[in-house]
Amino acid sequence: MTNIAVIGTGAIGATIGAWLIADPALNVTLCARTSFERLRVQTPDGTLESCPRLLTDPDDAAPVDWAIVTTKTYDTPGAARWLDRLVRDGTRVAILQNGVEHLARFPQLAPDSIVPVVVDIPAERHTPGDVVQRRTGSMTVPTGQTGEAFAALFGASPLELRLSEDWRTAAWQKLAINCAGVVSALTLKPAGIAHDPDIAELMRGLVRECVAVGRAEGAALADDVEERVVEGYRTSPADSINSIHADRLAGRETEVDARNGVIVRLGARHGIDAPLNRMATALIRAS
């Protein structure tokens, strides 16, 4: 029996947790901040319901084979308190968060025990334990033993697990999409705002900076990324709200550092200025 702890029970933690719980070969514990009794996830393949094993105090946690981190990037210190109890020699840790700094966020862990995961599973939480998974979606992990072992955990689920020889590029491609989404968080207007030519130009500028820094970091980003990002926002439902926009609407902290600030910080290492991402980061922080 493989013992798995899922840290965080929001949109992504509840969704992947529900799929793992549905596999009787896996022994799953949810590590939550907010308790609930029933887990109910509406998926494109039907509703998954269970009464999960759930802990709310890291002191009650014991070492596991796999720890899966699904908190927002700004809640990494809270996730680290769980990892202190869950990780022993041989534990592997998967980081399901946005951004490109999955390993850097967890310096206390051995890098070869970590699987960084690019998550493309649109999901939203209505109340604790009640989540909607909008599309089957996929997760992208690096090729190699640990990435393959992580993918195997989801063998009984319909989730698509992609093994990438060039995970870094996959992560920067996602960052290119995410960094442009800050315009919605700033204007509090959903994706349809990309039809405004001035806003589209601003999005291209944000992405251009991301591409320059990503290439300096070794990502193989194509020349048409900025156009594809704008087109992606224009062809998504005009009323769709990205997560940084949703966080602002809810008065929560945001992942702006992981989505925009990172472009400024990593750019500085390479002598690349990123003034649009710097301004967006400062405005979100000040708002």
Ligand X SMILES: NC(=O)c1ccc[n+]([C@@H]2O[C@H](COP(=O)([O-])OP(=O)(O)OC[C@H]3O[C@@H](n4cnc5c(N)ncnc54)[C@H](OP(=O)(O)O)[C@@H]3O)[C@@H](O)[C@H]2O)c1
3-state secondary structure of 237: coil
**CA 92 → CA 63, 64, 118, 172, 252, distances in Å?**
11, 8, 17, 24, 30
| Dist. CA 69–CA 23, nearest whole Å | 19
Residues binding ligand X: what is the number (CB under 6 A)? 29
Please, what is the minimum distance in Å from the beta carbon of residue 173 to ligand X? 13
- CB neighbours (10 Å) of residue 240? 14
Q: Which of 3, 27, 33, 168 lies at the binding interface for ligand X (CB under 6 A)?
A: 33
Q: State yes or no: residue 232 binds ligand X (CB under 6 A).
A: no
Determine whether 189 is an active site residue. Answer: no
| Dist. CA 128–CA 40, nearest whole Å | 9
Report the residue number whose CB is nearest to ligand X: 10
Q: State yes or no: residue 229 binds ligand X (CB under 6 A).
A: no
Q: State yes or no: residue 73 binds ligand X (CB under 6 A).
A: yes
Q: Which of 16, 26, 48, 72 lies at the binding interface for ligand X (CB under 6 A)?
A: 72
Q: State yes or no: residue 138 binds ligand X (CB under 6 A).
A: no
Q: Which of 85, 92, 105, 174 is catalytic?
A: 174
- CB neighbours (10 Å) of residue 65? 18
Q: State yes or no: residue 70 binds ligand X (CB under 6 A).
A: yes
Give the interface with ligand X as residue ranges (CB under 6 A): 7-13, 31-34, 70-73, 75, 78, 82, 96-98, 119, 121-123, 125, 128, 243, 255
The catalytic residues are: 174
